[in-house]
């Protein structure tokens, strides 16, 4: 199976690799997946006083598509309000990276990581987490 150019680009030159201070109340951290399943994503957001994401970082254990999905997610997150970030859909990632069906779970994981990071930020700041109504198949 060949990878799309965009997956290769994100994989070869991953954007925003790194770690934010997870103890800061301005940082939300999402850790999703499991080592046994072959992919784990950690996605972090730095949020300013206007609820805008000013920085995003990731680290991912997984295949090329998982790494590319999380790299792309961090790019999209920067500059978005957390409300807009909540609207990022895994199918947007699938489309942008031209992921084949067998790799759709990588985009689902990225969406889960975004939502987990936002909810971590919300809980830290006294807000209720937002339950996702979406059901992935």
Partner 1 sequence: MNIPIYLDNNATTPMDPRVLEAMLPYFNEKFGNAASRNHAFGWVAEEAVDYAREQVAKLIGASEKEIIFTSGATESDNLAIKGVFEMYKDKGNHIITTVTEHKAVLDACKHVEKLGGKVTYLPVKEDGLVDLAVLEQAMTSETILVSIMYGNNEIGVVQPIKEISAIAHKYGALFMTDAVQAVGKIPVDVNADGIDLLALSAHKIYGPKGVGALYVRRKGPRVKVTAQMDGGGHERGMRSGTLNVPGIVGLGKACELCGLEMESEAKRLSVLRDKLQAELTVLEESYVNGNVDHRLPHVANISFKYVEGEGLMMAMKDLAVSSGSACTSASLEPSYVLKSLGLSDDLAHSSIRFGLGRFTTEEEIDYAIKVTKEAVTHLRDLSPLWEMFKEGIDLNSIEWAEH
Question: Which residues are identified as catalytic?
Answer: 37, 106
Binding residue for partner 1, selected from 19, 54, 125, 132, defined by CB under 8 A:
19
Among 2, 13, 23, 34, binds partner 1 (CB under 8 A): 34
Q: Please choose, out of 56-64, 79-87, 89-97, 127-135, the segment that lies near partner 1 by the rule CB under 8 A.
A: 56-64
Within its chain, how far is the Cα of 124 from the centroid?
A: 19
With tokens 């030159």, the residue in question is: 13
How far apart are alpha carbons 82 and 9 in whole angstroms?
A: 27
Which among 6, 93, 97, 5 is positioned nearest to 43, based on CA atoms?
93
Q: Which of 5, 37, 54, 130 binds partner 1 (CB under 8 A)?
A: 37
**Which lies closer to partner 1 via its Cβ, residue 31 or residue 52?**
31
- Close Cβ partners of 13 (under 8 Å, ≥ 6 residues apart): none
Q: Compare residues 40 and 47 and give the one whose CB is closer to partner 1.
A: 40
Cβ proximity to partner 1: between 64 and 84 the closer is 64
**Among positive and negative, which fits the CA dihedral 8, 9, 13, 17?**
negative
Q: Which of residues 77-136 bind partner 1 (CB under 8 A)?
A: 102, 105, 108-109, 112
Burial tier of 1 (Cβ tally within 10 Å: 0-12, 13-18, 19+): exposed
Both tokens of 78, joined, read 């920067």
Q: How many residues bind partner 1 (CB under 8 A)?
A: 30
User: What does the binding site for partner 1 look like in residue numbers (CB under 8 A)?
Assistant: 3, 11, 14, 17, 19, 31-42, 59-64, 66-67, 102, 105, 108-109, 112
């Amino acid at each position: 199976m060949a990878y799309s150019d965009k997956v290769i680009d994100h994989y070869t030159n991953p954007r925003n690799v790194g770690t934010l201070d997870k103890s800061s109340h301005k940082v939300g951290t999402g850790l999703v997946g499991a080592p046994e399943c072959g992919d784990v994503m950690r996605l972090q957001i730095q949020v300013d006083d206007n609820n805008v994401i000013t920085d995003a970082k990731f680290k991912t254990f997984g295949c090329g598509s998982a790494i590319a999905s999380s790299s792309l997610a961090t790019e999209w997150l920067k500059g978005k309000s957390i409300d807009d970030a909540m609207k990022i859909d895994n199918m947007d990632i699938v489309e942008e990276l031209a992921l084949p069906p067998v790799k759709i779970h990588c985009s689902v994981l990225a969406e889960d990581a975004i939502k987990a990071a936002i909810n971590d930020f919300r809980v830290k700041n006294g807000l209720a987490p937002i339950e996702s109504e979406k059901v992935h198949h």
